[in-house]
Structure 1
Amino acid sequence: MEPVLRWLAIFILLSSLLPYIHAIYCEEDDCYDLLGVTQSANASEIKKAYYKLSLKYHPDKNPDPESRKLFVKIANAYEILKDEATREQYDYAIAHPEEVFYNAARYYHAYYGHKTDPRAVLVGLLLILSAFQYLNQWTRYTQAISMVKRTPAYKNRLRALELERSGGITNKKKASKHINKKVEEELSNELELQIQGAEKPCLWNLIVVWFILLPYTLGKLIFWKGSWIWRYTIYKSAYSWEDACYLTQRSLRVPQEAWRTLDESKKNDLVGRRLWVKSNMEAYLTELRKEVKRRR
């Protein structure tokens, strides 16, 4: 008895949803009936039927308020049936009324999915993300600069720069006073403040720029990798200074900015140790551990 009741409930549910299939297309009407054609009518017959009915029920031709409503329905039916894709979907919905949710999904995808270009969505998303990225970097940078400007070291640098610009001419009265705000602003523009972790935002580092330059970056990477394999794997050449620095930096896992700020003598020492060789790296780490223990 329970299976019968279950199937009966499903039948009642589907029956209640059947009008919905027509509603998403031509409301309670049949699109073919609105145009006065059969389901087997070709595109030319559908077009002729629409133009004939539009002349009869167009608001400019027929002042009756009801004709305006009917004209809207006729125009909607024609929009559905004139396109082969939407007509095929509508025919499928008529033939398979039990597939309510599938038919509804196809309808909304056909009418709303294609109206938004995925490329435009992607570009818009990248622009929004880049705007947030730039705003976040600028906020961090301004906050860091503001904190640095409060430190005594920064004020001392400003005073030193002021003395340099004035040729070292100053007096006790002038030295005891604070630097004029306008002068301080001019001097601060001359000081290049490099704050680790809060660098000044750059357009080249934005996501949208990375995405635009992605083909170039990939091409450059492939070319670099190919030339690396040719020079050092196939041809067995000695590593150039730049490539040896790259291998050393990668072996030590040192950030690029930190590597750039290293003393040249320290760089020479590290590169000369050939740390990209596993045994050399192990020996270097052992040496560091011994040095740390000695200092303790």
Structure 2
Amino acid sequence: MASPAVIRCYAFTFALSVFLLITPSISIYCDEDDCYDLLGVSQNANTSEIKKSYYKLSLKYHPDKNPDPESKKLFVKVANAYEILKDDETRAQYDYAIEHPEEVFYNTARYYKAYYGHKTDPRAVLVGLLLILSGFQYVNQWTRYNQALEMVKKTPAYKNKLRALELERSGGVSNKKKNNKMDKKVHEDLSKELDLQINGAEKPSVWGLIGVRLVLLPYTLSKLLLWHGCWFWRYKVKKAPYSWEDASYLTKQSLGAPADAWRNTDDATKDDLVQRQLWVKSNMESYVSEMRRESKRRR
């Protein structure tokens, strides 16, 4: 059995822990003071009485009215107590903290939510977050694009295109400077004329940023709904034949071809694929079988 001294030690430790936990849940409002006592009113005082007492004390302790150095501290405490008690919500939270001091974490969370949470406009937070994300996205896209551009510039195909462009600009007379190496300034000028299409690392555009897309989301959704409505009316209700652009879109979707790959496909191949009407299941199955047979013949 524990000795009386050990029991007293445990009791003191427990009491101290309870004091350290419970006290902050009340003191966070008016420090170590009671908000009602600071204003000189009872806990049952109405809003009018609280307001009247505050105006009276604020005149008494205002630094311009009272030269006493302690008056400034009292003035700040009185103003803080009034801010808490003048609002029905924060006053109810304070009264709850007085009646339930054991709920330290709950009371503390409610205090900080009331005094700090509402001061930050969620719309400002959302806009700031979107700006930060869009900034990171834009920098990342430019980094990827520049890295891909440097890699492409080291390939023989790019150097050949650059050389051909140089010959075209110079009228077929090649630059002989420095072992036929192109002058740096000429190299940069000609590089700007080459329109490089790099798959997977397209030149960044502000229209692709997440912030811009979110702002334009209502417009995008409206446009999408209008497009689907027109499609349904034209091809489902009126049974009109597909235009070449719409048939091309259906063909691309049926093949599962990426937008870049389809855009770089030559017109003759596109026409052939569109005429096959691959969006029809039977036609697609026939096309797949034909491709398989052709692949086996090549082997």
Q: Which residue of 2 aligns with 1:276?
A: 279
Query: TM-score by structure 1 length?
Result: 0.89
Secondary structure, counterpart of 2:32 in structure 1: coil
Q: Which shifted more, 117-126 or 38-47? A: 38-47
Letter in 1 for 2:111: Y
Structure 1 position 138, deviation (Å): 0.7
Q: Which residue of 2 aligns with 1:6?
A: none
1-structure distance, mates of 2:78, 2:84: 10
1-structure distance, mates of 2:235, 2:106: 58
Letter in 2 for 1:103: N
2-structure distance, mates of 1:118, 1:83: 22
Q: Which residue of 1 aligns with 2:49?
A: 45
2-structure distance, mates of 1:274, 1:199: 31
When residues 65 and 285 of structure 1 are mapped into structure 2, their CA distance, relative to the original with a 3 A threshold, is same
Which of 73, 81, 86 aligns to 1:77? It is 81
Q: Which residue of 2 aligns with 1:133?
A: 137
**Residue 59 (str. 1) matches residue 52 (str. 2):** no
2-structure distance, mates of 1:170, 1:185: 17
**Residue 214 (str. 1) matches residue 214 (str. 2):** no
Secondary structure, counterpart of 1:270 in structure 2: helix
Q: Which residue of 2 aligns with 1:24?
A: 28
1-structure distance, mates of 2:234, 2:267: 26
Native 8 Å contact 1:22 1:29 kept in 2:
no
Structure 1 position 193, deviation (Å): 1.2
Native 8 Å contact 2:141 2:204 kept in 1:
yes
Q: Which runs of 5+ in 1 are unaligned?
A: 1-8
Which of 102, 116, 123 aligns to 1:119? It is 123
Query: TM-score by structure 2 length?
Result: 0.89
Letter in 1 for 2:244: W
Structure 1 position 13, deviation (Å): 6.6
Letter in 1 for 2:101: P
Deviations 1:156-187 (A, max 9, x none): 2222112211222347x459421111111111
Identity of aligned residues (%): 70
Secondary structure, counterpart of 1:67 in structure 2: helix
Q: Which residue of 2 aligns with 1:195?
A: 198
Deviations 1:101-149 (A, max 9, x none): 2222211111111111111111111111111111111111111111222
1-structure distance, mates of 2:178, 2:241: 58
Deviations 1:30-85 (A, max 9, x none): 11111001222222221221121122222333333333222221111011111222
When residues 284 and 20 of structure 1 are mapped into structure 2, their CA distance, relative to the original with a 3 A threshold, is same
Secondary structure, counterpart of 1:249 in structure 2: helix
Residue-pair matches, total = 287
**Residue 150 (str. 1) matches residue 147 (str. 2):** no
**Residue 267 (str. 1) matches residue 270 (str. 2):** yes
Q: Which shifted more, 50-59 or 206-215? A: 50-59
**Residue 242 (str. 1) matches residue 245 (str. 2):** yes
Q: Cα RMSD over matched residues?
A: 2.2
Which of 167, 170, 180 aligns to 1:166? It is 170
Q: Which shifted more, 245-254 or 51-60? A: 51-60
2-structure distance, mates of 1:295, 1:101: 74
1-structure distance, mates of 2:259, 2:21: 64
